[in-house]
Structures are given as structure tokens and as C-alpha cells.
Chain A
Amino acid sequence: MQMPDPDQGVLARKARIVARLRAALPTDAVIDAPEELRVYECDALTAYRCPPLAALLPRTTEEVSAALRICWEEGVPVVPRGSGTSLAGGAMPTADSVILGVARMNAVLETDYENRFIRVQSGRTNLSVSGAVEAEGFFYAPDPSSQLACAIAGNIAMNSGGAHCLKYGVTTNNLLGVTLVRMDGTIVTLGGPWGEPAGLDLLGVVCGSEGQLGVVTEAWLRILPKPEGARPVLVGFDSNEVAGACVSDIIKAGILPVAIEFMDRPCIRATEAFAKAGYPDCEALLIIEVEGSEAEIAEQLARIKQIALAHDPVEFREAADEDQAKRIWLGRKSAFGAMGQINDYMCLDGTIPVSSLPHVLKRIGEMSRDFGLDVGNVFHAGDGNMHPLILFNANKPGDLEKCEAFGAEILKLCVEVGGCLTGEHGVGIEKRDLMSVQFAPQDMEAQMRVKDVFDPKWLLNPAKVFPLATSAARRAG
């Protein structure tokens, strides 16, 4: 992975830069010892590593502002970091950059059940936002699978989704406002708990901008009353086409499950060997979850059953109790771990129109044979967000490169059928150089203009999102 050459001037001034930061921040908020910086040399995309110049762990918006102001004056790039769970290298540092971590900013600032929002510091983890409102019967809807660890700051940066966004939407649909600190230290409030912009929807473009427009330090999030209950069913099919048609029919019928998950045969076999969830050995498997009271769940499942049976499934499995419901989810939730038992894997995140599903799965199978690498598919079928898991051996020379080439071909296919490179993980460094597959130069130019306004020196989260050549002139200043 190519990264820009570090600014030698910044590297030479390291002592002075660190001294200025130490003078402005509490002693324990500035880290520059090489052994302590190892933690920050990568995020969850571990194939690439580079220690930063220093790492900062401020506790308040004012401290973030002071730190950014110094970095702005010194011309030091800043890489914002939530919990470092990005699979796309969204928090990958450069040698001349300072990591600005919000991990210590995890307070709940306000909960308001009547107006249905919570205001938190952005370092708070996704799951602990729900945890803070659970006792009153509320939850925060976006549920990325890393929700135990990932921070709201990173969720906002990547516009994170989750398994339940078919019904509840992704981060942008549940974000009401933010406190944002710009690279020059200016503190800006965008949106607010009333959730309606007064003018341009700047909040809408900040969400998903991968930390390149500012550092979000606080956020107003919508909270929702928890449903009375939820229950999954499992349906097995002997063809991907039929499973895809079943998904389409359920959606057309006007039933809105909270999740429709899809696994293909390689993935089913791997998870069975690993988790022994008792899944049928079939070509494609759907897990469909609905919510409501007992009677409402029964009403929806009866309709889903009627639709599914019309497609002649090899199995339709209902959950009689909580234990059986857990077993239905067990294999799906173990899928990534199961694939990881077999070998190293790369997880892709392209989205396709649901109607292209059979075609795309067939093509991925053909490519798998051509590249000589196995792939399992597990994904959110209701919204077309695929997660092909390509298996490779990191210790075998050339295997990672082959895997990346295979991944790139899959993502190009996603774009070709009308989809996109990434549905919920973000571009980061991982898909940066594929952006030109999806966007024409003028499309990227329009996006980069937004960054020109928020961060004119292009110091925030360098070398992400846009191909290096595309952003070169701007990064040069």
C-alpha cells in the first residue's frame, strides 16, 4: 500500500511539536515513546503498519481544539481515531502524523427520553450508548458487528451500518447533531436534538467523511423504544437464485424484517465445522428476524413462511424458544471466526442491487477458481450489502497480493452491476485506489471541494478516501 512520503520538516521538528502539545495538554494526554506508539501503528486492517509521530488522548472538546490548533500551526497531519476497529485502514497513521484518539472522551452528557435523544462524548462505545438507555426501555439502533468495541466517533466517520439497518437505517439516519472541531481549532455545532438543519445539511456530509473534515467530539443521537420482542427463522435453499427470489418476494410483500442475512455453502460448511449450529448442508441459507409482540411476530412469520414455502426450501426452521433462536443466530455470528479458523481472510463490503445477487455469486465462484483462493459469502441480503470473505495464507509469499487482486475484481463487479465499493466499512486506505472505478474525476472533484472548505490545508486524515494521484496537488498545499 503506497502512502505519501512523510514531511521531513515535521519529522525534524518532532521535539518542538511534542513540547508544544505537552504544554497545552495534561501530561498523560501526550504519548511519544516509541514502545507506547506501537498500539497506534494500525487499526483492524493489520496488513499495513506505520507508527505515528505522537498520539494524543484528550478528555475535552477544548483540549481537542487546542491540540488541533497547534498541529495546524505546525503543519502536522492529524489522524483521528475512535477505537481503532476500522477494517479499511481509516485510522492508519503516517510517520509524520499525530494520532488524535477520543478513547478517554466516553461520558454520557445528557439523556432525554421525552425528546428521545442522548448526547455523548464521541469516544463512547456503540454498545454502551444502548447500555446507558436500556433501563428506560430504549436503544441506539445502528449495530455494527464490532459494537462492543467501536466508538461513536468512528461510527460517524464511517457512517456505520449493522445487521438491523434494513429497518432502522445507518448512522446518518440516527445522528441528530455533532460538536465538531475543525483542523484550525474552531469549534462548530452542526445540527441539534431537534434534528432538522436550519440551512445546508452540513451534518449530512460530515457523517461518512472518514474524519477528513473535522474531529467529532460530541454527538446527539436518536434513541428508540425497544421492541417488545424479536425472533428469527432459518430457511435453507438448494440454489442462490431461489434464495434471492425469496428475499425479493418478502420485501415486495410489504413485510419489513429487521434483518435478512444470507450465507452461501462454503460459509455454511465452515461455520458448521466450527460452531456446530446444526445448519442444513445446502446451497444458500437465510436468517430472517422480525420484531414485535408475540402475536405480531407470529403474524409476520406466518406470512414469511407462506412466501418461503412457495419457493420450495430444503428447510424452514422456526425457533420455539429463546434457546432455539440463539442457535439460529449462532452460526451467522460465528461466521467470521469460523473462516478465520481455516485461514487468514480478507473481508469485503461491496453492495449490489438485490436483483443482481445470483449473477454476482456465480461470478465470484468463477473468480475463486481462477484465482485459486476460496471464498465464503455472508451478507445482509435485504439491503444487498455483501461480505465476501476471501481466504489466503499471509505467510505464503504472494498470497496477500493475489487476495487483494481478487478482492478488487469483486468490488469492480459490484460497481459494474450498479452497486458500490463499500456499504458500511468505508474507503480508508483499503479501497482508496478503487474510487476511480465508481466515480468520474468530476465526481471526486466535487467531494474534494467539501474538504477544501473544512480543511484547506488537507491535514486531516491524510491519504484516505481519494486516490493519491487525485489528491496530490491538494495535499502538496
Chain B
Amino acid sequence: MRPVTEAELAEAVAGARGPLLVRGGGTRTLGHAVGEVLETSGLTGVELYEPGALTLVVQAGTPVAEVDRVLAAERQRLAFEVPDLRGLLGREGVSTIGGVVAANASGPRRVQVGACRDACLGVRFVDGSGTVVKNGGRVMKNVTGYDLVKLLAGSRGVLGVLSEVSFKVQALPEAEATLVVEGLADEAGLSALRVALGSPFDVSGAARHSGRSLIRVEGMAGSVTYRLGQLTARLGGDVTTVEGDASAALWRELRDVVPLQGKPGDIWRIATLPTAAAEIVARLEGEAVWDWGGGLVWLRLDPGRGAEVAAAVAGRGHATLVKGQGGSVFPPEAVEVAALAAGIKAKFDPRGIFNPGMMG
């Protein structure tokens, strides 16, 4: 099914006779859900865009590329840097903005501006009984009622089908540059990222792969130059500076996890403490791409090492198998948390028709 209006979407859900596989473009879907495909890609268009208020309201099926184009025309962007995971996951298709929100998909700039969910100001969605619900709004500060926006962000369609999302957007910076630090082992290379993130120099990216640590600053030209100088003075190793488009290319590569694309094995996505990141990777001996100063690890391992991964991250984060021979697997949750999550799912989707088996 591919409704083209919110009313049609609500009708499709209300009339569903069995499980629905809810998706935007299917470019970042995880899990084992099966069901009749319900695509949101027919719900497209910008509802409202006020550059002077940094506000964008857009229908959920709008392609990310279209959102980027509309914002770029006013020299603005989505601050959280949407990852394009098609290469990594081996997918085709057109990524939609609703799918991005449903996955809370957030790129390198998360260390500075927060995740996708932090940029979401409001949502409209269709719940499991086919009722249209709105929450939040289009203003930046809003504590009116419970924050279902955060709950829906990252819920992967199991609570409702997003029909519209409002975002806080960001002006494009005048300049950007990246410090590339070479010649450091992983532990020291990751420590350099933490030094940068602990400095007052407003770092907007801190990552490491292929033996190089990358530290990005963005802003007004004079300020970028100043901060590059200050950071260089604080870092060890062999530091070079990459500016402008070349810098942007480095972060696109990182954002989309290019170094791990097209290679054999399982791909794990590990959220952890930056100080634990080097040790976890050393213990599992995989190929790693570290983002968020080490707080996010993309790790390529041989298949069948799930138990070792779980043991390595226990008590200091969690790991999701995003690509593997048996599909993908979300991390388990503590019993009391899983009970709450199950209760919420049952309330929002009483028939259990949205993406059954997707999360946990």
C-alpha cells in the first residue's frame, strides 16, 4: 500500500487485516518484521519553511535529498547530518525523512548539536487503530503535555506511522576544516578525540578510522582558523589541516561508514563510553570506524560472534547487529525496561500490526 494523503494512510491502517511492514524508502530498515508493505513515500512535500525561524515542516515521505535541496537554497541544513546507509547495508531506494526520524538516524555532528530526535519539534502520526495523533509543534521550546516526539523518534514504526515532522534546522557555516591526526595507535588516537571534545573549541565532529583521527570545526572563517590553531597546539601526533570541500568529503565518508562498505562479515553498531571504545575493539579484534569521539563504534567482525560482542559491551553500552547473515538484531533490554516498552507498544498498537518482531 502506498497512500498519498494522511487520511488515506489512516484508512489503510484502520482497514489492515494483518501485519504491516511500515517503511519510507526501506534504505535503513532493520529487524525481521514481515507483513504487507505500507510505504509512506507517497506523502511528500514541504508544508512550511521559515528560514528566519529555523523551522521546517515536511511530510514524512519526502525524500531526504529533496529536504536537503530546499534547505540548501536558503543556505541551511539539517544539523544532525543524515547518514546514507545504502552502501553499508547493501540497499537500493530513496531515503525518506520519516524513515530518518523513525530510525533516529544521526551523523557525526551529534557530538555538537545532538541527535535527530533533538532536532524534531513536532510529529503527526497514525497509531495502530488508525487514529491521527499530533504532538509537539513547530516552535523550539515546547513543554506542553508529554513529549511523544522523542518517543516516536527512533521507534522504527512500531508505535505509529509518521505522516509529518517539524524540524529545527541550522544555517550553513561560513567555513569548515578538519584536523587529521596520523601516527597514533588507537588508544592514543581516541584519547586525542576526547581532548578535543573536552576543549572549549566547539568541535563538530570527532572520529577515527584507517589509522587517522579526524577533528572538525565549523563556523565563521576567523573563528575556524583560531580554533584550528588552538586544537593543533593541544594534540599530539602528526597533524595536518584539510579545508572546505575536502573536509566535507571526509565527513561524508565517515557518516556513511564507507570504510566498511562492500566487505564480508557482520556489521555491528555499538553505543558505548568513549573511554571504553578502544578496549572493546581491541578485545574483539575487528575493523572499526569510531564516531562521536568513540561513543559510537561501527565494527566489522566475522559472523557468529554475538555472544562475545554482548560480553564486551556489557555494563558500558549496547550493540546492534545491523548487517549479518541472519539479518539484524536489536540489543536486549533490562526486564523492567522491556516491560515498559512492551506496555507502550500494546497501547499505541493494540492489534500488534506494526512491524511485528522489529525491535526485540
Contact = CB atoms under 8 A, between A and B. Distances in A.
Contacts of B345: 200
Interface string B331-360: 111101110110111011000000000011
A424 B146 contact: no
B133 A355 contact: no
Given A199-B330, A200-B155, A355 B50 contact: yes
Nearest to A418: B138
24 contacts: A114-B198, A169-B118, A170-B141, A170-B143, A186-B336, A196-B317, A198-B330, A205-B147, A207-B150, A225-B198, A225-B199, A254-B75, A254-B171, A292-B202, A296-B223, A299-B220, A300-B223, A351-B139, A354-B53, A384-B139, A384-B140, A425-B143, A442-B132, A446-B148
The listed residue with most A CB atoms (<10 A of its CB), out of B74, B135, B174, B202, is: B202
B163 interface: no
Interface stretch (A25-33, A72-80, A447-455): A447-455
Interface string B83-98: 0000000000000000
Nearest to A190: B337
Contact of B316 (A194, A424, A444): A194
B344 A453 contact: yes
A343 interface: no
A342 interface: no
Nearest to A431: B144
A280 interface: no
Interface string B251-281: 0000000000000000000011111000000
A40 B264 CA distance: 63
Nearest to A297: B223
A442 B171 CA distance: 35
Report, nearest first, the 7 A-B pairs whose CB atoms are least far apart: A204-B150, A254-B171, A248-B52, A423-B141, A453-B343, A196-B271, A383-B140
Nearest to B120: A204
A192 B139 contact: no
Contact of B140 (A197, A207, A351, A355): A351
Interface string A162-189: 0001100110110000000000001111
Nearest to A456: B343
Contact of A209 (B146, B198, B223, B316): B146
A251 interface: yes
B139 A418 contact: yes
Given A198-B333, A431-B144, 19 more contacts: A169-B118, A192-B317, A195-B271, A200-B154, A202-B344, A204-B150, A205-B148, A225-B199, A248-B53, A256-B171, A295-B226, A353-B138, A383-B141, A418-B139, A422-B144, A426-B143, A444-B145, A450-B347, A453-B343
A454 B295 CA distance: 30
Given A420-B142, A440-B134, A442-B133, A252 B171 contact: yes
A438 interface: yes
Contacts of B174: 254
A296 B146 CA distance: 39
Interface string A438-477: 1110111111011111100000000001000000000000
Contacts of A227: 200, 202
Given A254-B75, A446-B348, A207 B133 contact: no
A202 B139 contact: no
Contact of B147 (A113, A166, A207): A207
A172 B333 contact: no
Contact of B141 (A165, A435, A443): A165
Interface string A395-427: 000000000000000000000001111111111
A300 B137 CA distance: 31
A353 B222 contact: no
Interface of B: 50-55, 74-75, 104, 114-115, 117-118, 127, 131-135, 137-151, 153-155, 158-159, 171-174, 194, 197-200, 202, 220, 222-223, 226, 271-275, 295-296, 316-318, 320, 330-334, 336-338, 340-341, 343-345, 347-348, 359-360
A228 B200 contact: yes
Contacts, number: 255
A313 interface: no
Given A418-B138, A446-B127, A202 B341 contact: yes
Contacts of A114: 194, 198, 274-275
Contact of A204 (B151, B275, B359): B151
A202 B200 contact: no
Given A189-B337, A205-B151, A248-B52, A435 B144 contact: yes
Interface of A: 112-116, 137, 158-159, 161, 165-166, 169-170, 172-173, 186-190, 192-205, 207-209, 225-228, 248-249, 251-256, 292-293, 295-296, 299-300, 303, 351-355, 380, 383-385, 418-427, 431, 435, 438-440, 442-447, 449-454, 465
Contacts of A198: 271, 318, 320, 330-333
Contacts of A112: 273, 275
A110 B31 CA distance: 36
Contacts of B139: 351-353, 383-385, 418-420, 423
Contacts of B114: 169, 173
A200 B344 contact: yes
A423 B150 contact: no
Contacts of A385: 139-141
B141 A452 contact: no
Given A198-B330, A199-B337, A202-B151, A173 B53 contact: no
A44 B86 CA distance: 53
Contacts of B171: 251-256
Given A447-B145, A450-B347, A202 B53 contact: no
B200 to A, nearest CB: 5
A208 B127 contact: no
A437 to B, nearest CB: 10
A248 B171 CA distance: 12
Contacts of A352: 139
B141 A384 contact: yes
A265 to B, nearest CB: 23
Nearest to A205: B151
A172 B317 contact: no
A421 B174 CA distance: 36
B169 to A, nearest CB: 10
B226 A296 contact: yes
A200 B222 contact: no
Contact of B150 (A172, A251, A296): A172
Contacts of A423: 139, 141-143
A205 B150 contact: yes
Nearest to A447: B146
A443 to B, nearest CB: 5
A376 B120 CA distance: 31
Nearest to A196: B271
Contacts of A422: 142-144
A252 B198 contact: no
Contacts of B53: 248, 251, 353-355, 384
Nearest to B274: A115
Nearest to B224: A296
A36 to B, nearest CB: 32
A385 B53 CA distance: 12
B50 to A, nearest CB: 6
